Structure 1
Amino acid sequence: RHWDLVLSEDERAGLAVLCDVIIPADEVSPAASAVGAVDYIDEWVSAPYDGQRADLVLVRGGLVWLDRESDTRFGEGRRFRDLTDAEKTAICDDICWIRRAAPEHRMAARFFAKMRDLTATAFYTTHEGMADIGYVGNTALARWEAPPAEVLRHLGLA
């Protein structure tokens, strides 16, 4: 790496919560934040390139929006990280798809789309993420079995 990371600890904490809403821990794998998603995103938005600089503005603005929306909906100065799982999901459900988002939530939906992409990239490029989807990668096989004759016939190859 040839650049400094720019996200504050507070921003990283907010990202961790959102990453774990997007890819929570389950019986198969850990949550996104547990495998370094926040580090990946911080590295990404800290890069000195135009696209990443635009993403930094989007991510920082989105984190502020999440906290303001949390306070607006649920009051008492609550931030996104302070909400219950159901409350977090309610907000995310409103911004999870750009085309379905209400006009006043479109920018937040762009933020969520970027976060979903970055979180998924960070998670599914780790050993745990690959194992989660059963990807074995470039693994030596003890033996190779050809596709069944039925499959080859279906494809017109037998």
Structure 2
Amino acid sequence: MPRKLESDTIGLLLTDVSRLLRGAFDRKVNAMALGITPGEARTLMQVAMTEGIKQAEIATRMGIEPMTLSAYLDRLEALGLVARLPDPADRRAKNVVITDKADPLLSELIVGLREMMNAYTDGLGDEGRELLRANLRILRDNLRRLDPCLAGKEKGAAE
């Protein structure tokens, strides 16, 4: 007789919630009609959180291929929302920064996403939200510390 697996393990719940949130994020960004795609929105947010880091590091943090990131950055740069600057320590690398033109779009994006997350975390209350955030930070930090595949990679990834 086949073994039935438990569906409410931490790993499975996190995977399911992550998948659902990703879809909700994409739909929210599309509904906001900001003139950028969900992938570009994620990229813009990552650049805003990690201003001035190398393109390769952004791709790693986002878990996407460098070529995919490059396409997002090409479009964001064409819109005047980001700029790629030479890295003073590595002439082959480019560091990515947010432009002033991105500020209003980022503000609108943050407000929309905050509304979305408040709806999805309804019932947790402020203390519950902060406890969830704190516990997720602990889990993230433990993964970075204990997973040999993450050894030597950046510490502040977000998304």
Higher relative contact order (CA 8 A, sep 6+): 1
Higher strand fraction (1 or 2): 2
- TM-score tier by shorter-chain length is 0.3 to 0.5
What TM-score, normalized to structure 2?
Answer: 0.32
What TM-score, normalized to structure 1?
Answer: 0.32
- For the pair shown, the structure with the greater C-alpha radius of gyration is 1
